[in-house]
Amino acid sequence: MTPQELAELFRQNFQAQPEVFSAPGRVNLIGEHTDYNDGFVLPSAIGFYAHVAVSARADKKLSIRSTEFPDVYDFDLRNAPMKKLGAWCDYVLGVAIELASAGFGTTGANLLVHGEVPIGAGLSSSAALEVASALALLSLEGAELPLSAIAKLCQKAENEFVGARVGIMDQFVSCHGREAHAVLLDCRSLGYELVPIPDTVKLVISNTMVKHELSGGEYNLRREQCEQGVEILSRSYPHIKALRDVTGAQLAAQEESMPAVIYKRCLHVVQENERVLQTAERFRSGDLPGVGRLMRDSHQSLRDLYEVSCRELDIMVEAAEGLPGFIGGRMTGGGFGGCTVNLVRTGNAEAFSQAIASHYQEKTGIFPDIYICSPAHGAGAELKKAVV
């Protein structure tokens, strides 16, 4: 659905003229479960967007509708529910509540949302919806916030309202992504650098069709385990505030002082941070096979040390090996289902997609969706607002 079509639907629903704001989903090339450890990540925005059409209301009501779901949600902002409803509107409502507590929620709004990002696939459909909603609601106030502040506000909405203790990666890249680039982000300082991705390669994203559910306990449990690791390590090294601050040698020296499972989690994060910096360097120097090796190492570590892969993800990763044009691949996002990301030579991408789909189907009986993507613009680059 184009922004123009969404606007037309909006006029039919609300008898008002909207503006349309858009923000993309993302794929993470490497740096998994490092963001909430103050570490490094290397995601790209992808060309699937959440679009939010918005118009102001004279009252303080928020009326939220979707093109995909029949439910209609009407809230009075002055006594909106302070807990999630367990529905898609939580992401919009959470953002509206955060904006209000930051002093921006004075106007009522009609909102119609349309999401292109596959839901539950680990491609950040929720971050896309949050960022597009924030831009839409802010526009009614005539207010502009720096993009990084918008990303943080959306993360807070997901942490506090939706209850998933996600890091900053998804919202940040949804704001700051850039066509033909990955975003090398330092999740502590929020300093970032754009790393060119050559057009000789495609990001082939393979959806296992196994849904992942972030507010499910495993994600939050991994965070707690990392915090336990920091607590133990900081007894010996008081300057350590997050796993970002830990070197491989320090961790090895403390192996005996922590439960084996905590050690494994910490080892993944410490090594994954290193891999992110190395991957950015390999992209810069044109060493694509080197990137491929690092992606494979990342997957193994997520499978064996961090234990967030699953049978279907492992099968999808294995299905790519040996296919023409394949450079490297790994699970992407939080894990427990969702997608793998494969770096594939552009000329081979179509044939690769067909081959990986049939290998996966043979082994699992599930027919996967495959998306051939290139790094796309984030919400901050040109597409903040569609003219309708």
Catalytic residues: 170
Answer for the pair 63, 27: CB distance below 8 angstroms, yes or no. no
The tally of CA atoms less than 13 A away on the side-chain side of residue 212 is: 28
Longest alpha-carbon distance in the chain: 66
Which one, 33 or 377, has the nearer CB to ligand GLA? Answer: 33
In the complex with ligand GLA, the residue whose CB is nearer, 302 or 383, is 302
- Determine the Cα–Cα distance for residues 232 and 234; give it in Å rounded to an integer: 6
| Span near ligand GLA by CB under 6 A; candidates 30-38, 55-63, 85-93, 199-207 | 30-38
Q: How far is the CB of 271 from ligand GLA (least distance, A)?
A: 14
Based on the shown chain and the rule CB under 6 A, indicate whether residue 75 belongs to the binding site for ligand GLA. Answer: no
Strand (E) positions, 129-275?
A: 181-186, 192-196, 201-207
| Burial bucket for residue 260 (CB in 10 Å: 0-12, 13-18, 19+) | exposed
Angle between helices 89-101 and 147-156 (to 10 degrees): 120
CA–CA gap between residue 296 and residue 331 (Å, rounded):
9
- Contact flag: residue 334 with ligand GLA (CB under 6 A): yes
Using CB under 6 A as the binding criterion, the count of chain residues that bind ligand GLA stands at 10
Interaction between residue 162 and ligand GLA (CB under 6 A):
no
Q: Which stretch binds ligand GLA (CB under 6 A): 166-174, 225-233, 234-242, 373-381?
A: 166-174
Task: In angstroms, give the least distance from the CB of 33 to ligand GLA.
Answer: 5
Tokens of 280: 């950015």
Residue 339 φ/ψ, nearest 5 degrees: -120, 160
Residue numbers 85-144 binding ligand GLA by CB under 6 A: none
If binding is defined by CB under 6 A, does position 169 make contact with ligand GLA?
Answer: yes
Which of 90, 98, 170, 245 is the binder for ligand GLA (CB under 6 A)?
A: 170
Question: Stretches 7-15, 58-66, 167-175, 261-269: which one binds ligand GLA (CB under 6 A)?
Answer: 167-175
Interaction site with ligand GLA (CB under 6 A): 32-33, 35-36, 166-167, 169-170, 333-334
